[in-house]
Structure 1
Amino acid sequence: MAKTIALLFHEWHWISVSKYCEGTIWATVMFLVALVTLPVRTACAEQPKELVFGMSAPFTGTNGEMGVEFYRGIMAYLDHLNATGGAGGWTLRVLPCNDGYNPGPCFENTSDFIRSKDVFALFSYLGTPTTTHILPLLQKFDEHQTYMLFPLTGAQPMRTEPFRKYVYNLRASYFEETAGLVKNLTEIGRDRIAVFYQSDAYGRTGWDGVRRALLLQGLHIVSEAAYQRGANFDSDFVRESRLLLAGTPDAVICIGTYGAQAALIRDLRDMGSDIPVAGVSFAESGKMLELLTKAGMEHGKDYTRNLINTQVVPSYEAVELPGVRLYRTLMDAYKGAASVSGSTYTPRRFSYVSFEGFLNGVLLGEMVSRMADAPSRERIPDVMNSIHDFDMGIGVPVDFSDGKHQGLHAVYYTTVVNDRFLPIDDWQRWRK
């Protein structure tokens, strides 16, 4: 049934996330009937006072290593929380399912979570093309109070109607990340900005963010190039590099994955261009740096110069922050599996992605603690609304009060320093 349902959806466009793929009217009717006649049950658990959350993410494929990092950060905190009494006495269990960063498998996973596993909520999905693809399910399950908690995506469909009511975001949006990049680059005279983006909902959201930010200053994108989802570091982006350089840009903003962005940087540098290349948080900067460093050693070149990446959490080196200290302590103590759902990835000690997952775990624990007397899906909106100026130890408070569906808005800017992406101390180094 799940595979049949998945076939009813095409990959979504960047603005419209409700277009059904071609199929018979009868199949569509049967699909809708199946959705609206589901029974209401308590979330499936293996033991008393346990709540189960469904997580669909890539653990193999293009973004597999990113998915593992994200999951490890989540579990480092939740294992600690469960071992010390849980959230108000409730044990929190995450059920991870691999989607390979593909919308179809993500849809199947989500259908299974809701129809068979009956999870308490969907939690920490990873990726825009996958997460946006399942939003109609949340709308169709409206009476069953199925919510998406803290996905790793900054895309607009999760933040605007008609789906905003079903999603609670912790992180800043891609519009906020790209607006910050445009502001900082133009302030140092780099106002001829090109865009390299993934040709799907993720890439188009970021492209639109850059476009909007430039328009506010009376500027336009000088050149652009796109690539198909699934590209990696082995991809050849010489043609795309030429398209970008044809606009004589002062900088390139990328809306891509770590492998694709690294491949573009390599090809731009091999063509003699040393202009700044900036990416957003989803282009997992640590893994991207690993790829570029290894390639640089093999080719006798430095591919790590003039790189900028936004982050949506503080630096994991900011040990003056209590939340960072706790993260580092629990990650070092974490004894969970290094792989999940078939992945064979050797994890890093710390990363921005695992720190984001860690903070998701902290917020999940806080939400459940606030309803520990009687957890229920129906109470999620009221409990989230009660979270006001919540201190996670990262220097900025989390606020979901007054009906907000995004708790943080901070964007951090990093560049390569001593083989790590660390906070930028002075943008003037790139002044044109």
Structure 2
Amino acid sequence: MWPRRQLLQAVGAGCLASLSPWSHAAKDDEIVIGQSVPLSGVLADTGRDMAMGGKICFDAINSQGGVQGRKIRHVILDDGYDVERTLANTHELLQKHEALALFGFAGTGNIQRLLADKVLANAGVALVGPYTGGEPLRTPYNPWIFHIRASYAEETSAMVKQLVFSGITNIGVFYQDDAFGQSGLQGVVSALAAANLDLTVAASFPKNTELVDSAVQAIAAKSPQAVILIATNRPVAAFLQKYRALSKSALFFNISVVNPKAIVQFAGADARGLSIAQVVPDPNGTKPIAQSYRADLAKFGAGAQVSSSSFEEYVAAKVLIEGLRRAKTLTRAGVIAGLESLERLDLGGHVIGFDPNNRLGSHFVEMASLRSDGRLIR
């Protein structure tokens, strides 16, 4: 992880002249990429890793001369995982910094607000690699968001299939009470229905809190064999600690948007055995994309550690860079056209694909088990 102050200092600041969104073009010497990300609050550990993934990729391409003769300026703003701050940051990125594209935002509800307010549509701007698998951002189709990860429905389907195959049919859900949590919950319900099963119990907690006690009690009262968690680092850790304190046993599965090392840091031994969905290949693996990531992290990461979160946004940055390369004009519309041309982009053992009618770039999901040192076993 990189300290929040250093991340903010690394990108600098700037103000460009206003242009209409569709004619908006990059300056002669730079391309501005904007990112609103939680560098504070309950998702800060993950947010810092997300920002780092983009930073090292953009730094690497800048060290090679940039894209189409221009260096990338990566502007990062902290939103604390708060919807209103994400909205304000996006306006700042588009209007003050005149970002050519947006990148690596977090939060289903946060990004859903951008769609509801037509912020992306009015600016004619692409958002690449959002750190969410929420269905409301995928259905109905919208042309602005380019996803490089599987959906929560695909993640939860993989979990349910694994559990049912093992003979486990008594399943509960702990979820965040917002669009993110509801999306994951619906994925579990749909996957169970496909197996002719019903959900045993579901209980929620408020976003941006660790107020999990009532959910713990409600789920424990039904004694499910397994609990699927649709939550982020700190509430996941709080749930595991409080549930295990009741001497209740269950298998625990978590959606992908967590930082394994942060969960171990917060929950200690109570994090043992947690299975976490993964939507990118192993960042410690042998695939060329993973080797490239580790090399760039070592060179540009200022001591940051390998993580799935930073690797995911590194992959997203690679995709965005290729879209910039293929853009016939470095305008917001040109970037979208460049991204649409990536019908089968092999990044080195991991394939992403878009076209004019498809924004779902990957369906990769696999499960990993959390070790006591915060590493994942696949």
In the superposition, the TM-score normalised over structure 2's length comes to: 0.90
Contact 2:276/2:369 (8 A) holds in 1: yes
Give the Cα–Cα distance (whole angstroms) in 1 for the partners of residues 135 and 232 of structure 2.
18
Question: Deviation digits for residues 41-85 of structure 1, max 9, x if unmatched?
Answer: 76586x623111221111111111211111111111110101111
Give the Cα–Cα distance (whole angstroms) in 2 for the partners of residues 218 and 41 of structure 1.
49
Give the Cα–Cα distance (whole angstroms) in 2 for the partners of residues 200 and 188 of structure 1.
31
Following TM superposition, where does structure 1 have runs of at least 4 consecutive aligned residues deviating by more than 3 angstroms? 37-45, 139-144
Question: Deviation digits for residues 229-285 of structure 1, max 9, x if unmatched?
Answer: 1124xx5x3432221022221100000011101111111111112211110111222
From the CA coordinates, give the structure whose radius of gyration is larger. 1
Give the Cα–Cα distance (whole angstroms) in 2 for the partners of residues 144 and 260 of structure 1.
35
Contact 1:128/1:153 (8 A) holds in 2: yes
Contact 1:206/1:255 (8 A) holds in 2: yes
Q: Please report how far the alpha carbon of residue 158 of structure 1 lies from its aligned counterpart in structure 2 after TM superposition.
A: 1.5
Counterparts of 1:136-175 in structure 2, within 5 Å, are 136-137=116-117, 139=118, 142=121, 144-161=123-140, 164-175=142-153
Alignment root-mean-square deviation, CA: 2.1
Change in Cα spacing, 1:40 to 1:169, as seen in structure 2 (3 Å) is closer
- Percent identity, aligned pairs only, is 27
Change in Cα spacing, 1:315 to 1:335, as seen in structure 2 (3 Å) is closer
Task: Give the aligned residue type for 1:375.
Answer: L
| Aligned with 1:306 (options 259, 268, 273) | 273
In the superposition, the TM-score normalised over structure 1's length comes to: 0.79
Q: Please report how far the alpha carbon of residue 141 of structure 1 lies from its aligned counterpart in structure 2 after TM superposition.
A: 5.8
| Aligned with 1:62 (options 37, 42, 56) | 42
Q: Does 1:98 align with 2:78?
A: yes
Alignment-derived partner of residue 48 in structure 1: 28
Task: Give the aligned residue type for 1:145.
Answer: G
Change in Cα spacing, 1:348 to 1:140, as seen in structure 2 (3 Å) is closer
For this pair of structures, how many residues does the alignment match?
361
| Aligned with 2:264 (options 289, 305, 315) | 289
Counterparts of 1:272-351 in structure 2, within 5 Å, are 272-293=247-268, 302-318=269-285, 320-335=286-301, 348-351=304-307
Question: Deviation digits for residues 148-187 of structure 1, max 9, x if unmatched?
Answer: 22111110122112x6222111111111101111110111
Task: Give the aligned residue type for 2:180.
Answer: Y
| Aligned with 2:232 (options 226, 245, 257) | 257
Give the Cα–Cα distance (whole angstroms) in 1 for the partners of residues 364 and 205 of structure 2.
29
Q: Does 1:391 align with 2:346?
A: yes
SS at match of 1:134: helix
Give the Cα–Cα distance (whole angstroms) in 1 for the partners of residues 85 and 138 of structure 2.
23
Alignment-derived partner of residue 367 in structure 1: 323
Give the Cα–Cα distance (whole angstroms) in 2 for the partners of residues 50 and 198 of structure 1.
39
Contact 1:123/1:150 (8 A) holds in 2: yes
SS at match of 1:273: coil
Task: Give the aligned residue type for 2:338.
Answer: V
SS at match of 1:117: coil
Give the Cα–Cα distance (whole angstroms) in 2 for the partners of residues 367 and 257 of structure 1.
30
- Per mean C-alpha deviation after superposition, the further-off stretch among 57-66 and 106-115 is 106-115
Contact 1:415/1:422 (8 A) holds in 2: yes
Q: Please report how far the alpha carbon of residue 402 of structure 1 lies from its aligned counterpart in structure 2 after TM superposition.
A: 5.7
Give the Cα–Cα distance (whole angstroms) in 2 for the partners of residues 144 and 238 of structure 1.
42
Change in Cα spacing, 1:187 to 1:148, as seen in structure 2 (3 Å) is same
SS at match of 1:171: coil
Give structure 1 stretches of 5+ with no counterpart.
Answer: 1-36, 294-301, 337-346, 425-432
Change in Cα spacing, 1:418 to 1:109, as seen in structure 2 (3 Å) is closer
Contact 1:59/1:100 (8 A) holds in 2: yes
Alignment-derived partner of residue 378 in structure 1: 333
Give the Cα–Cα distance (whole angstroms) in 1 for the partners of residues 122 and 48 of structure 2.
33
Alignment-derived partner of residue 3 in structure 2: none
Give structure 2 stretches of 5+ with no counterpart.
Answer: 1-17
